[in-house]
Amino acid sequence: MESNTQFLEDSDLFKTLLEDNKTVKGVEGKVPFNDRLKTIDVSLKARTFKEDAIFARNKFYRENIRRGLSFVEEGQKITLLRRGLEKFFDLRTEYFDVLEGKAELSTLKISLVEKDLYNVIFDDVTRVLNNGGKVLVYKTEKANGENAQISYNKRYDAWVVASKNVSILIRSKDDLEEYRKLTEGRYSFAIMIADAWLNLLKAHVKDIEGLKKDLDGRTLIGEYCGKLYYKA
């Protein structure tokens, strides 16, 4: 299972992932403005250390499930809605001893999974350096919040708004109010992110149609750190 997303059609990717129902799950969600649609959020049936272990040993899942993956189903048609950033892992200080030649990976007093993750993190880097190439390292700062993902779907003229594992389809605040009426608590973070996104569009974006075009088939990733209010 080493294939990359780009070699699979949306429906084939969906089918391939959900065949492994012991490891992968798909959670169905409603779309209030169109009862013929349902969202399907795909994730691993694992958290924290167990999730890392699965991702460490399965490149296909790292490349495809990532930190969030959602589809929309209409009848028999399956379409990809959004794809999050590829799963990343903690950079342990012990790893630098190996990079600096002070220790062998096999001798580090860390778990087998963490040793596998060393290879996941550094295999491409090592190959580039050994071939005489250069690697640029970017240091970024990030406020601590809830993972937020935004995309746009042209077919339904709707924003795809998601936390890490839950997506919703909205066109306006009216649709957002319909999600608020649902009893499923799983939508709570996605609703807050969507509310902030719509406020942001109203307050700061002049060319919304241009932004829709830019985000169609792409996913904008950020952090939800609090509400944004718009005052007329």
pLDDT, tens digit (0-9, with 9 covering 90-100), for 117-127 = 999 999 998 89
User: Domain for residue 58, yes or no?
Assistant: yes
Cα–Cα distance measured from residue 71 to residue 66, given in angstroms and rounded to the nearest whole number: 14
Residue closest to 12 by CA, chosen among 23, 21, 3, 22: 3
Residue closest to 217 by CA, chosen among 80, 44, 102: 80
The predicted structure's pLDDT at residue 1: 34
User: Domain for residue 103, yes or no?
Assistant: yes
- pLDDT reading at 2 higher than 50: no
Question: Does residue 74 share a domain with residue 19?
Answer: yes
Question: Does residue 125 share a domain with residue 26?
Answer: no
- pLDDT reading at 171 higher than 60: yes
User: Domain for residue 71, yes or no?
Assistant: yes
- pLDDT reading at 48 higher than 90: no
User: Domain for residue 231, yes or no?
Assistant: no
Question: Does residue 14 share a domain with residue 110?
Answer: no
The predicted structure's pLDDT at residue 7: 63
Question: Does residue 31 share a domain with residue 73?
Answer: yes
Confidence of residue 232 (pLDDT cuts 50, 70, 90): very low
The predicted structure's pLDDT at residue 140: 78
The predicted structure's pLDDT at residue 227: 66
User: Which range in 84-88, 112-116, 181-185 is most confidently predicted, on average pLDDT?
Assistant: 112-116
User: Domain for residue 174, yes or no?
Assistant: yes
Sequence-separated (6 or more) residues with CB below 8 Å from residue 17:
24, 26, 42, 64, 65, 69
CB 94 within 8 A of CB 110: yes
- pLDDT reading at 231 higher than 50: no
User: Domain for residue 208, yes or no?
Assistant: yes
Question: Does residue 32 share a domain with residue 68?
Answer: yes
Residue closest to 83 by CA, chosen among 100, 70, 94: 70
Question: Does residue 153 share a domain with residue 76?
Answer: yes
For the chain, how many structural domains are there in total? 2
Cα–Cα distance measured from residue 232 to residue 228, given in angstroms and rounded to the nearest whole number: 13
Nearest-5° Cα angle at 155, 154 to 159: 50
Domain that holds residue 108: 94-130
Which residues does residue 152 pair with via DSSP β-bridges, in sequence order? 159, 216
Query: CB neighbours (10 Å) of residue 131?
Result: 7
The predicted structure's pLDDT at residue 228: 54
Question: Does residue 220 share a domain with residue 110?
Answer: no
Q: What average pLDDT does the structure give for the chain?
A: 90
User: Domain for residue 213, yes or no?
Assistant: yes
Look at residues 107, 130, 153 and tell me which one is the last residue of a structural domain: 130
- pLDDT reading at 184 higher than 70: yes
Question: Does residue 113 share a domain with residue 217?
Answer: no
The predicted structure's pLDDT at residue 156: 96
Question: Does residue 108 share a domain with residue 50?
Answer: no
DSSP structural state of residue 106: G
Count of alpha carbons within 13 angstroms of residue 109, beta-carbon side: 0
What values do phi and psi take at 44, rounded to 5?
A: -80, 150
Question: Does residue 194 share a domain with residue 167?
Answer: yes
Q: What is the pTM of this model?
A: 0.88
Question: Does residue 152 share a domain with residue 99?
Answer: no
Question: Does residue 163 share a domain with residue 77?
Answer: yes
Cα–Cα distance measured from residue 203 to residue 231, given in angstroms and rounded to the nearest whole number: 8
